[in-house]
């Protein structure tokens, strides 16, 4: 008989932080985080310098999975236009999940306000990397102004994600036509 190893206190804290902050926001208290993780406050502070460091580590830990589900593989053979549309197809797919509350990285930036907060810095980097992906694809696809197109695409991405997250709208049937207009206007192939 094999038994699965119980997650470490650090892993339980990271999971609790990810779950509770996505559901309830970054204002969640240390007591609630520790209770959900089954870890004492003393243990938490031995593992993490602060709640902010815990939130940053939790966001950082999810970055790879976020990127893997959102971005196409580097060598997938699709055109830059198709690669950009893939990101928005993924967003529409994720937004259809009942527990979708928008992009966790955008939410952290909006809630924290303080751009120097450790979690805000992680979130800012993740969003900057998505913008850089859009810019690189725009340049590769011959866009007339790759910088402008990348900024427009991240605006649509964040807006669609936020509106879907608050259940004000759904990106399905809306985001692809919007992005297509931007790609056409920029001369993307």
| Among 33, 45, 55, CA closest to 119 | 55
- Side-chain-side CA neighbours of 75 within 13 Å: the count stands at 0
Which structural domain range is residue 60 located in? 52-185
Q: Is residue 161 part of a domain?
A: yes
Measuring CA to CA, how many Å separate 82 from each of 108, 109, 130, 181? 29, 29, 16, 14
Read off the pLDDT of residues 95-129 as tens digits, 9 standing for 90 and up.
Answer: 999 999 999 999 999 999 899 999 999 999 999 99
Q: What is the mean pLDDT of the chain?
A: 95
Residue 95, domain member (yes or no)? yes
**Alpha carbons 118 and 51: distance in angstroms, whole number:** 10
- Give 138-163 pLDDT, tens digit per residue: 999 999 999 999 999 999 999 999 99
CA dihedral 172, 176, 182, 183 (to 10 degrees): 160
Whether the predicted pLDDT of 2 surpasses 60:
no
In the chain, pLDDT over 70 holds for what percent of residues?
98
Whether 38 maps to a domain, the answer reads no
Q: What is the pLDDT of residue 189?
A: 83
Q: What was the pLDDT predicted at 5?
A: 78
Question: Are 71 and 134 a contacting pair, CB within 8 Å?
Answer: no
- Supply the pLDDT for residue 3: 62
Q: Is residue 75 part of a domain?
A: yes
pLDDT value of residue 75: 86
Q: Identify whether 99 is part of a domain.
A: yes
pTM reported for the whole predicted model: 0.92
Domain assignment present for residue 74? The answer is: yes
Residue 81: inside a domain, yes or no?
Answer: yes
How many domains, the chain?
1
Distance spanning both ends of the chain, measured CA to CA: 56
Q: How many CB atoms lie within 10 A of CB 174?
A: 16
Supply the CATH number for residue 153's domain.
1.10.357.10
The arithmetic mean of pLDDT across residues 18-23, rounded, is 95
| 156 in a structural domain | yes
68-94 pLDDT, tens digit each? 999 999 889 999 999 999 999 999 999
Alpha carbon distance 89, 78 (integer Å): 14
DSSP E strands in 68-149: the ranges are none
Report percent pLDDT > 90 for the chain.
92
Q: What is the mean predicted confidence (pLDDT) over 47-69?
A: 96
pLDDT-based confidence at 6, cuts 50/70/90? confident
DSSP secondary-structure letter at 116? T
């Amino acid at each position: 008989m094999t038994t699965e190893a119980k997650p470490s206190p650090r892993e339980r804290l990271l999971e609790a932080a990810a779950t509770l902050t996505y559901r309830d926001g970054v204002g969640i208290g240390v007591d609630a985080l520790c209770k959900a993780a089954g870890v004492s406050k003393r243990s938490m502070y031995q593992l993490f310098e602060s709640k902010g460091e815990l939130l940053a580590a939790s966001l950082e830990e999810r970055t790879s999975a976020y990127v893997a589900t959102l971005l196409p593989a580097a060598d997938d053979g699709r055109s830059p236009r198709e690669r950009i549309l893939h990101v928005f197809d993924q967003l529409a797919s994720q937004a259809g999940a009942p527990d979708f509350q928008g992009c966790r990285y955008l939410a952290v930036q909006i809630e924290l306000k303080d751009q120097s907060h450790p979690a805000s810095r992680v979130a800012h980097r993740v969003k900057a990397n998505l913008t850089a992906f859009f810019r690189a694809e725009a340049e590769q696809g011959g866009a007339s102004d790759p910088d402008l197109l990348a900024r427009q695409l991240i605006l649509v991405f964040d807006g669609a994600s936020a509106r879907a997250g608050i259940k004000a709208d759904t990106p399905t049937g809306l985001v692809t036509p919007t992005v297509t207009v931007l790609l056409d206007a920029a001369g993307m192939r």
